[in-house]
Structure 1
């Protein structure tokens, strides 16, 4: 058999345009320490320590027993689309026709479908810096150009309508937002979100809003961008609020006129989302299950209310109180450690010297990444307390 040198295998240029996910390198380092016998507290990955509640597991087991595992429609099973539409009515008071809901293989597939449908080569898409790194990479995969807009504490680390008006050009196609946001845990104020949508609409562009953390809102009732018009595209997921990360299930709400285009793309790119995950997810919307989720939301709030002042007592600054998700974007400039002010060096020191994993800001953009670390409090409360004690010892506090 002839062996062909790998050097002759040409990769597409888009591969080089997509940066590595540095948090995964931190996780590899943490795994090495754990294999060597170290106890490591994870405050890095955005994965709830809660798993799918028993009613969801029971629904999955029932689907397995029935053998209900065939392909579904590319846009998902009707019962799940109806249940999601009912959830919008119950939780947000929004009337959404279930025909506008497209079930996807996670929010990642939803964002990929949106970018594939809406972004042409060299189209520019505005998004805040910092933001979830994969968002810009979805635009790049569609051969578009993400325009990262530096967004600091004064803007709650979010894009503003003034940014959109100032930066919109002949090549701008739309905006990609997240509310609440990863990595900052901050939401866009409802009035500001409405202004952004209206500014984009006036220019004939698209607005895509990632709402995967919306169920985890703590200080005010959540507001969905679905309420701002049927031309707004929203992305949601069963991973975060519904605690089904590995099930890979999400959804889109799309304009009625675009459903067929999204369906065609989904048919060709994914066939359909997991039939098992879809059948299990039906149980998410039962009253008893929703009651479990709300208790878990309150537990996340309790953790936030502990970790923010704890970080400040360690020398971190929290310039914007996170109001959702399970992240804190913490300023490490004045942390009392030799690596203070350099988030990458500090993250490495916390991992190796204290056994605590946090994520340096380099993954999330180019606006002051070395000044910030992302702290995830999606881990058990006693482990958060232990992490603070370890860091207190490390920093001499």
Structure 2
């Protein structure tokens, strides 16, 4: 038996800048309750209840049988990059050079590569508060400083060009946006996004736009940030609209001048995205598969159109109706419950007393997060109805 004590290792200081993902802690509690036999309705994790459709799984099986499972080019399989470019043409009317498309190991890898390529030590990057927590952590991982700007209902929980101008200083390097957004499900109005891009460009900065939920838009035809110039960097994913979360596949669109830098980073940090997932994803763009995805998009819209008025009937405020993704960012102040206005305590009560998982605002920002909860309606319609019934019973006690 080795009695030598394990030495204490000094961790890198960047670890301190990355906070825990609180939703995962709540999920641990939910799983513990489930192990005791409790029935828990999950409306916390942002994962579609739909999985990859049959044409995609069939393509994966075919690729596996053909043995196309070896390393690919660090930028991705050429056929997939061309298919993504064709998707921009068909969905947005945009001409995108396939050479600008970098296939990545999920949108997370795409965001990390973009930040590693553009953010220097101490650079400040503007983003809205609330926002997806990992986005600011990617900036921190690149030794940059995320600057969270309070963005409330009046701004649709998004940055505005005026806010960018007001908060830009000598240390500011760029902006990192998401449209539609997690946690709010709100998009940046195209005219406002164009003004943001122009404002950043005038200051010599970069604009990164996370568009992973863009396929799940409900009230208007979506407009990609690529429409506003070839210098804009966009991030997308096969996880949400394409229902391939665990396949870990995404992509970047970068300016021509960035291709070499991103390729070098990708070669060293990731080698390549999963070859099997890339060959399977080619089937995502077939007409029969797109028809499946569009039917699923309409089902998400149906769920949104149910859950927003249902939440309001329970006393939640929904100050901005989400127009995309599968989230509602709801104000808890009007709920008839002792923990109203304290989203952490309220979500714990909803879990333990009603068996419903929702996410407190603490994950998504630092400006008044205690008021808000995030609800994911990426679950079956019948489960949404049952969750509303359970919460109604809880709030009537």
Which position in structure 2 is the counterpart of 1:267?
267
Which position in structure 1 is the counterpart of 2:131?
131
1:39 and 1:263 map into 2 onto residues whose CA distance is 47
Change (3 A) 1:238 1:4: farther
Aligned pair 1:16/2:16, yes or no?
yes
TM-score (norm 2): 0.99
Which position in structure 2 is the counterpart of 1:69?
69
Which position in structure 2 is the counterpart of 1:147?
147
Which position in structure 2 is the counterpart of 1:343?
343
Which position in structure 2 is the counterpart of 1:241?
241
Change (3 A) 1:4 1:17: farther
2:52 and 2:149 map into 1 onto residues whose CA distance is 36
The secondary structure found in structure 1 opposite 2:219 is coil
Gaps of 5+ in 1: none
1:315 and 1:194 map into 2 onto residues whose CA distance is 36
CA positional deviation for 1:6 = 4.6
1:225 and 1:30 map into 2 onto residues whose CA distance is 38
CA positional deviation for 1:7 = 5.5
2:359 and 2:64 map into 1 onto residues whose CA distance is 38
Aligned pair 1:313/2:327, yes or no?
no
1:352 and 1:118 map into 2 onto residues whose CA distance is 44
Which position in structure 1 is the counterpart of 2:284?
284
The secondary structure found in structure 2 opposite 1:8 is coil
Which position in structure 1 is the counterpart of 2:193?
193
Which position in structure 2 is the counterpart of 1:165?
165
Change (3 A) 1:4 1:234: farther
Following superposition of structure 1 onto structure 2, how do residues 283-302 of structure 1 map, counting pairs within 5 Å? 283-302=283-302
The secondary structure found in structure 2 opposite 1:31 is helix
Which position in structure 1 is the counterpart of 2:334?
334
CA positional deviation for 1:367 = 1.3
Following superposition of structure 1 onto structure 2, how do residues 85-104 of structure 1 map, counting pairs within 5 Å? 85-104=85-104
1:295 and 1:6 map into 2 onto residues whose CA distance is 55
The secondary structure found in structure 1 opposite 2:330 is strand
More displaced stretch, 74-83 vs 6-15: 6-15
1:142 and 1:246 map into 2 onto residues whose CA distance is 25
1:91 and 1:135 map into 2 onto residues whose CA distance is 26
The secondary structure found in structure 1 opposite 2:63 is helix
2:262 and 2:165 map into 1 onto residues whose CA distance is 28
Which position in structure 2 is the counterpart of 1:376?
376
1:8 and 1:133 map into 2 onto residues whose CA distance is 29
Gaps of 5+ in 2: none
Q: Deviations over 1:99-148 (max 9, x none)?
A: 00000000000000000000000000000000000001000000000000
1:393 and 1:319 map into 2 onto residues whose CA distance is 24
Which position in structure 2 is the counterpart of 1:226?
226
CA positional deviation for 1:8 = 2.1
2:9 and 2:332 map into 1 onto residues whose CA distance is 43
Following TM superposition, where does structure 1 have runs of at least 4 consecutive aligned residues deviating by more than 6 angstroms? none
Which position in structure 2 is the counterpart of 1:27?
27
1:2 and 1:263 map into 2 onto residues whose CA distance is 45
Q: Deviations over 1:189-208 (max 9, x none)?
A: 00000000000000000000
1:258 and 1:362 map into 2 onto residues whose CA distance is 35
2:117 and 2:152 map into 1 onto residues whose CA distance is 30
Change (3 A) 1:3 1:161: farther
2:375 and 2:289 map into 1 onto residues whose CA distance is 28
Work out the number of aligned pairs and report it: 397
Q: Deviations over 1:227-277 (max 9, x none)?
A: 111000000000000000000000000001110110000000000000000
Q: CA RMSD in A?
A: 1.0
Q: Deviations over 1:306-347 (max 9, x none)?
A: 000000000000000000000000000110011111000000
Which position in structure 2 is the counterpart of 1:395?
395
2:16 and 2:7 map into 1 onto residues whose CA distance is 15
Q: Deviations over 1:173-193 (max 9, x none)?
A: 000000000000000000000
2:59 and 2:127 map into 1 onto residues whose CA distance is 38
Which position in structure 1 is the counterpart of 2:210?
210
Change (3 A) 1:72 1:371: same
